[in-house]
Structure 1
Amino acid sequence: MSSGSQVAERAAEESVLEQLCATLFASLPRHDQRRKGVEYLTGLLRATGRKSIRNIALAIGDQATEQYLHHFICDSTWEAVPVRRALAEHVWRVAPPRAWVVRPLLIPKAGRHSVGVGKRFAPDLGHTLNAQQALGVWSAAEDLTAPVDWRLRLSPAWVGDAGRRSRAAIPDGVRAESELECGVEAYLGVARFRDRPLVIDGRGHDVGTALTRLRRAGAPLLMRVSGTHRFTAPLLGPDPLSARQVMSALHAARRPVAGHWPLLAATSRVHTPDSDDLVLLGIGSAGHTWPTQLWLSNQPAVPAADLVRTSLLLPRVDHDFARYADRAGTRDFTGRSFAGWHRHMTLASAAHTILATADARTTPRPVTLPQQRTWHP
């Protein structure tokens, strides 16, 4: 990158930082807390290497700075939730989302004392590792995606251990959840913005329970499902069929997706024992085995092309996470407390938003969305 580009990038980041901080920390009751919030966020943007509190302090101050920033994140009294709401409202104004994408995040850990840490299977790596697992809620538009909320998934071993709960200061109402359940609850927590659909990967999980929860909440959904999940398709007879069987029967009904050639799509109305207003979406690519992806929606009036376009926000979020996570310090919190983890993740999300917004202003992206990287049903 040229020096001129670096100067323009830094100037854009400073401009977005100033604009965001004007409202982001309004809920913090004291002036010194608001000042520390700005300093921590500035340090996340400026620090090189791992975004530990020590490196953040070195980027903006000295050893005394490290001490009070550690207290600000790990031991202070300010609440992360109002700050996240302010962040979500800011992102909504800057780039209104097409959907909320819920994405799992594994954060590898060396020890066993960080809140929520345990043995977690990493699908991308194909093995189990010692890690925290969280579900992030991402505001997803074609030109900007950013995480605006987080839910830390805790295992029964954590929520059932009084000593662990006390040491990490886990609130009484926090309970053990499955990955999909955790993701759905994270989405439902963005209550003020629930008119946008939830986009989530439900393969390998209890889809029925999630459907019931979302139906009761009146929430729109687009969920990736496995080919073995079973439905009743009224036009194909009374017997339950796998999702793959339903879409295989619609091979001749595939249609090109406008603006996304060589993608093809087909839809079928399907039922489950508890839901009778669902649409199964098949997506494939010309010249490849059909179908290559299967999605379930509770929005029967939405055209197939719009559902496909919305599904493509999932790889866009994956792409942006890979691009900004290390720069924003998303995986770098080293404390052990539940509240400290949430405070750091809130400010790391704000840092991600600043970086992504600044990049969008200096190097606008084309409107064409990326195609899915993984095509296994």
Structure 2
Amino acid sequence: MSGALNQTKDVFADFPDGAGPSDVVSELAGAVFSASLRRRDQRAKGEQYLRGLLTVGGRKTMRNVASLVGGSAAEQSLQHFISSSTWDWAPVREALACYVQRTVPPQAWVLQQMSIPKAGDQSVGVAAGSPATGEAPGQRAYGLWFASEEMSVPVNWRLHLPECWLQDTSRRRRADIPAETVAESRDECAVAAVRETMDRWPVPPRPLLLNAGGHDLPMLMREFGDAGVPVLARIGPSSRLAVADPALPGYGAGAVSAQQIVEAVKGLRHPVRWGGSSALVVAVRVVFGGRAPFGRAEAPGRGQRSMLLLGVWNDPLRPAGELLLTDMTQAPVPALLRMSRLARRVSRDFTEVGERVGLRDFEGRSFRGWHRHITLASVAHAAALLGGTGWGENTARGPWPALVPSVAPVPVPLRTARPPRLTSPYVAGASA
């Protein structure tokens, strides 16, 4: 990774002095819609829909959005534009990503799962809930967000389609699911959302942040590692890892829980400060490991990628409150902790902005309609943040949040193929 992130940039730099939110919408619409909406009437409908998402109160249903521009006739026209038209959403998303990276250079990608509760079973991709996990019936999607300390924007989406939707011919036909779409697990869906973006778009290499809870952690780390995408993952206390440092307790014992590993070395915690925050932190070199036959412990293999497990304590008398796993083993620990907070930025922007522009509000039943709606809602999300507080004055959910002040981002280097022995004083067992 280069030092391209070392400069801060005002988010209004691409707009003339005095430009208001309406100017932002026109500028953004012109920049992203031309990539796919070839006809003038298509671009006009796209901007109408975009302004509706930003202006009307309550849920962003087709009827509510159409009420801004002309009632039932407008509703039918917009319904066709979203669900039955032929324009491709992928170029619009790519153009949005390029626009955002020029305007507010991102520090990281954040992969976030989005659940969309549904009462019925007609919406495309809807799946039964799980009482064991508290998951409600509904749709599941993965959003890939550009994130900086100033703002975050979703730029690509992948809707998870359970196998039952792809095997049922009539269901598949009603939802207009493309013939080339195949069944995939949620883990495969998450990986595909990232790989599709990295492989096809001219986007910068940045670390990927994700919450690995409920996912196949070894599979995700392997897939992203093979693709050259450095990862910083929040993991659960039961995630199984093996200590890779011979000088530390647990080396050679095979895989144990991440919580056990950091508890065994909590006497080596150091106070770490980053930005305006601080915590006690211990960092341990780990690999994915297991046990050999007959219960004999299997030491970490030479060919395995070394990773760094971070245990973070805000209360030294309680178990670690946060566990992070990364393959960026040479990055400074304070920089990793600061970067991890970008996931919180995404959660905040999703709640305060994304929900308000209708990321979860599509009520149609078609696969293509879902993708077109969420693409335009993502553009609206970007416009709301770039336009400051001017939008949303007529909504029932209150004004848009103001942007946080610009701060200098923290550059984090890419993972090297075979990193040397760690020498950071934050890493347990490393020489000072």
**TM-score normalised by structure 1 residue count:** 0.88
Identify unmatched segments of 5+ residues in structure 1: 1-9, 370-377
Per-residue deviation, 1:367: 6.0
Paired position in structure 2 for 1:155: 162
CA distance in 1, matches of 2:79, 2:231: 39
- Give the Cα–Cα distance (whole angstroms) in 2 for the partners of residues 324 and 263 of structure 1: 29
Cα distance change of structure 1 residues 61 and 229 upon mapping to structure 2, 3 Å threshold: same
Aligned partner (choices 207, 211, 217) of residue 201 of structure 1:
211
Evaluate the alpha carbon distance shift between residue 171 and residue 63 of structure 1 in structure 2; reply closer, same or farther with a 3 A threshold: same
Q: Which residue does the alignment assign to 1:186? A: 193
Matches within 5 A, 1:228-377: 228-235=238-245, 236=248, 237-240=251-254, 241-258=256-273, 259-273=275-289, 275-359=304-388, 363-366=402-405
The structure with the greater share of residues assigned to helix is: 1
Match of 2:179 in 1: 172
CA distance in 2, matches of 1:337, 1:130: 18
Q: Which letter maps to 2:365?
A: R
Deviation at 1:83, TM superposition (A): 0.2
Distance 1:88 1:61 in 2: 31
In 2: Cα distance, 1:163 partner to 1:275 partner = 46
Asked if 2 retains the 8 angstrom alpha-carbon contact of 1:142 and 1:367, the reply is: yes
Amino acid at match of 2:306: D
Which consecutive residues of structure 2, in runs of 5 or more, have no partner in the other structure?
Answer: 1-17, 290-302, 391-400, 409-432
Residue equivalent to 2:141: 134
Q: C-alpha distance in 1, partners of 2:356/2:214?
A: 31
Aligned partner of 1:146 in structure 2 is: 153
User: CA separation in 2, counterparts of 1:302 and 1:160?
Assistant: 46
Structure that is richer in strand per residue: 1
Query: Which residue of the partner structure matches residue 52 of structure 2?
Result: 43
Q: Which has the higher contact order (CA 8 A, sep 6+)?
A: 2
Distance 2:304 2:383 in 1: 41
Q: Deviations over 1:77-125 (max 9, x none)?
A: 00000000011111111211111111111112222111001213499xx
1:150 match: secondary structure: strand
Equivalence map 1:47-66=2 (5 Å): 47-66=56-75
Shift of 1:327: 2.0
Structure 1 residues 155-164 or 346-355, which shifts more? 155-164
Residues 256, 176 of structure 1: alpha-carbon distance in 2 compared, 3 angstrom cutoff: farther
Change (3 A) 1:365 1:26: same
1:366 to partner: Cα distance = 4.3
Q: Distance in 1 between matches of 2:386 and 2:152?
A: 9
CA contact (8 A) 2:213 2:235 kept: yes
Distance 1:288 1:311 in 2: 23
The C-alpha deviation readout for 1:42-82, integer Å capped at 9, x for no partner, is 11112122211111111122322111111000000000000
TM superposition shift of 1:253: 2.5
Structure index of larger Rg: 2
1:94 aligned partner: 103
Give the 3-state SS of the residue equivalent to 1:120 in structure 2. Answer: coil
**Cα separation, 2, equivalents of 1:296 and 1:172:** 38
Question: 2:186 is matched by which residue type in structure 1?
Answer: E
Q: Which deviates the most, 262-271 or 133-142?
A: 262-271
List per-residue Cα deviations over 1:17-61 (Å, max 9, x = no partner): 122112111122222111111111111112122211111111122
8 Å Cα contact 1:135/1:182 also seen in 2:
yes
RMSD: 2.3
Query: Secondary structure of 1:148's match?
Result: strand
- Residue equivalent to 1:373: none
For 1:212-227, what aligned pairs fall within 5 Å after superposition?
Answer: 212-227=222-237
Q: Separation in 1 of the partners of 2:229 and 2:389?
A: 30
Counterpart residue number, 1:6: none
CA distance in 2 between counterparts of 1:277 and 1:189 reads 26
Q: Is the 8 A contact 2:98 2:203 kept in 1?
A: no
Deviation of 1:143 after TM superposition, in Å, equals 0.7
Q: 1:120 aligns with which of 124, 129, 132?
A: 129
Corresponding residue for 1:14?
A: 22
Q: How big is the shift at 1:201?
A: 0.8
